[in-house]
Every structure is written in C-alpha cells, then in structure tokens.
Copies of this chain bind each other. A is one copy, B any other.
C-alpha cells in the first residue's frame, strides 16, 4: 500500500468511526452488541477489542468523491457512514445465506448467535444507513442533497439484492455463463463500489458529468475488486484472508476465474465443467481434490485471465477519472486506491 492510500483509508476510518458509533449506539442493547462484534469493536460478550473491521475502502471512496468535486470531504460523512453500513448489512446477510462460518478470522454472526440474530443485525444496519442520511439534527455537516444520496443507496441496495439472488441461484446450476457471472458481479460488488465513489460528490451537489465519471470509476473498481477477491478465494492464504481454504470451490461458487475457464479453458475447462456437474462429488471433495480443481483453473488460463482482467479494469477506472475534471490530488488518490485494491493479499 502506498503512503497516500494508507492515509486515505486511515482518514476515512477515523472520520466515520465516531458517527458510526453514534448510530450503532441507537440500537437496542442486544442488536448493538451483535453489530459491534461484527464491526470488530468488541468480542462476542461486548468487551472492547482493537482489531480492524475491514479496509474501509468504501468510506474512503466517499470522501475522495467529495474532494473530487472540490468540496470539504466532511460533507460526504453521512454518505461514507451509509455505504459502510450497507456493505456490512450485506456481509451479515450474505454470510447467513451462503452459510459462511468465518469472516475476518472470527465466527460470523449467524454462526455465533443463530439465524434470527443475523437477520436482525443486518436489517438494523440497512436501516441505520438511511437514518444517518435523513438525520437533520446531526452535529456533522448536513447536505441539502441527502435525498439524492438516499436514492443512490437505495438503488445500490436493489443491485446488491439482484446480485446476491443471482449468486445464490448460480450455486445450484452448472451452466452459468461468463456474461451472467459478470452481470451478477456488477450487482453484487460493482453497484456499492460505484455508489461509494459517487455519494460524496452527490452530497456536494456536483455536476452530472463528474458523478457519471465517478460512477464509472467505481463500477470498474468493483469488477477489479471482485476478480482479485475471487483469486484470493482460491489461491489466497487462509491465515491472511481470514476465510477457510477453497471455500468458494467447495460451495461451487460461480466465480469469474472458474466460469472463464469453463468457457475458454480447452481440455482443462472441460474437466472443470465435468467436476462442477457432479454435485455429490463436489460437495464431498477433500482439500487435495479442491487443490486439483484449483490447478485445473490455473492450467486452463483462468488465473492469468483474472489477473490481467483486474489490471485492465483498474486502467479503465483510471481513464474514467482522467476524463473528468478532477484536481490532481484526489485524482491521484483515486488511482492509487484502485491499484492498491488489486495488489492486496486479503
């Protein structure tokens, strides 16, 4: 990570945390405990812990978006908090739906407290995202464009839901095309990344030419991010990613490198397709067998393709920024953030 990106993300986290804590404090005690645990603020009994609650990429983007419009980044704060809340709402609900038992090296909410608690904790964060935007009496800077920002959040949430619905449906199919998969990723990952890049500028009242450019930047970034996530889900170090090894392969998730290999990987792709079609075998696969599946994807070219494709989307994100009228400071931070997201290891 470059120093600039480190500062961008650190500043984002530092600025949003007090507001995020104020919002979470409004919840009833039991839901507050669960949300505090999920956000990495406490252990499961409520004792404070100091650990990272994630990279805070989305709040960082929201602040940069306001700066890109020449505004004080603080105008973006309710938006930065909102995108972080929507992101975490979707993590808690997705973990439940996907039955993922680990996140950030810890048991997930449903795994610790059960399904009902995970449903409620996610609901609470989605609702708080809108509450922070609507909050006229808040001490932080208030924008006259809060309704437009709420619309940005609502549309991104609809897209998240679309993507997750597709993702869930895809797990039961073995004939998912790369195009379908890309469409799913645009909803599941691209939409909120795009909303994060745009919401600060929306709160600052920026012109459509700028918000369009930031939306495109964020959408490209989302694709790049997901490609890297998919790569880490197969070849990442579990001790770094915090997720079990090969979990995406075990659940036959239709990730981008896998789906590309099935379509374009020649003999390796055909072998991969046959493995995917044999449901009972995939479900019972050992780590060794999943390792062999990972090697099939590598041999078929899916790993190299995903890597190159991630870099191509980062370049497209950079172009979107270059063509907009953005001061060099925020523009270079936006480019550096995009590069960081594809070079990361977790």
Contacts and interface: CB of A to CB of B under 8 A. Distances in A.
A161 B116 contact: no
Contacts of A117: 165, 168
A26 interface: yes
A115 B116 contact: no
Contacts of A150: 130-131, 133-134, 150
A92 to B, nearest CB: 10
A128 B161 CA distance: 12
A147 B148 contact: no
Interface in A115-164: 115-117, 119-120, 122-124, 126-128, 130-131, 133-136, 146-148, 150-151, 153-155, 157-158, 161-162, 164
A119 B148 contact: no
Given A30-B165, A165-B31, A119 B96 contact: yes
B127 A31 contact: no
Nearest to A135: B151
A52 B93 CA distance: 30
Contacts of A15: none
Given A120-B165, A150-B150, A151-B131, A26 B158 contact: yes
A252 B187 CA distance: 41
A97 interface: yes
A12 B97 CA distance: 35
A315 interface: no
Pairs of residues from A and B, 4 with the lowest C-beta to C-beta distance, nearest first:
A131-B154, A134-B150, A28-B162, A97-B116
A157 B123 contact: yes
Say what secondary structure dominates the interface of chain A.
Answer: helix
30 contacts: A27-B161, A27-B162, A28-B165, A28-B166, A30-B169, A31-B165, A93-B119, A93-B120, A96-B115, A97-B115, A115-B115, A116-B164, A117-B165, A120-B161, A120-B164, A120-B165, A122-B123, A123-B157, A124-B158, A126-B126, A127-B161, A130-B154, A131-B150, A131-B155, A133-B150, A134-B147, A134-B148, A134-B150, A134-B151, A147-B147
Nearest to A165: B30
A124 B148 CA distance: 19
Nearest to A92: B119
Given A30-B169, A148-B136, A124 B161 contact: yes
A126 B123 contact: yes
B151 A136 contact: yes
Contacts of A155: 131
Given A97-B116, A116-B164, A123-B123, 5 more contacts: A27-B162, A124-B158, A128-B154, A130-B153, A133-B150
Contact of A136 (B120, B130, B147, B158): B147
A96 B130 CA distance: 24
Contacts of A164: 116, 120
Nearest to A169: B30
Given A123-B122, A151-B136, A154-B134, A162 B96 contact: no
A93 B154 contact: no
A252 to B, nearest CB: 15
A190 to B, nearest CB: 14
Contacts of A97: 115-116, 119-120
Interface string A158-198: 10011011101100000000000000000100000000000
